[in-house]
Amino acid sequence: MRVVVLSLFAVGVVTVTLSLQLTGVCADDDSHYYEPNEEVMLWINRIGPYHNPQETYKYFHLPFCKPEGDHHQKHKYAGIGEILQGHELMESGMHMYFAKNQPKTPLCNQVLTQKDAEKFKRAISQHYWYQFFLDDLPIWGMVGEIQATEEEILEMEAHPEREHEVKDSYIYTTKHLSIAYNGDRIIEVNLTSEDPVEAKAGQNIEFSYIVE
pLDDT tens digit sequence for 76-135: 665 544 544 556 788 999 999 999 999 999 999 999 999 999 999 999 988 999 999 999
pLDDT tens digit sequence for 145-154: 987 777 877 7
* HSE, side-chain direction, 13 A CA sphere, residue 162: 9
C-alpha pair distances (Å), 204 with each of 30, 93, 104, 200, 207 = 38, 20, 18, 9, 10
Q: Which amino acid is at 16?
A: V
Pairwise pLDDT comparison (31 vs 156), residue with the higher score: 31
Pairwise pLDDT comparison (75 vs 21), residue with the higher score: 75
pTM reported for the whole predicted model:
0.77
Cβ pair 170, 200 in contact under 8 A: no
22-35 as b/e: b if 16+ CB within 10 A: ebebeebbeeeebe
C-alpha pair distances (Å), 12 with each of 5, 8, 19, 66 = 11, 6, 11, 31
Q: How would you classify the pairing of strands 204-211 and 168-182?
A: parallel
Cβ contacts of residue 21 below 8 Å, gap of 6+? none
pLDDT tens digit sequence for 40-69: 999 999 999 988 888 999 999 999 999 987
What average pLDDT score do residues 159-165 get? 63
Cβ contacts of residue 78 below 8 Å, gap of 6+? 16, 87, 89
| Residue-level pLDDT at 175 | 98
Percentage of the chain exceeding pLDDT 90? 59
| Residue-level pLDDT at 158 | 76
| Residue-level pLDDT at 174 | 98
Round the average pLDDT of the chain to a whole number and report it: 81
Least confident piece of the model among 44-48, 165-169, 189-193, 204-208: 165-169
pLDDT tens digit sequence for 9-18: 233 333 333 3
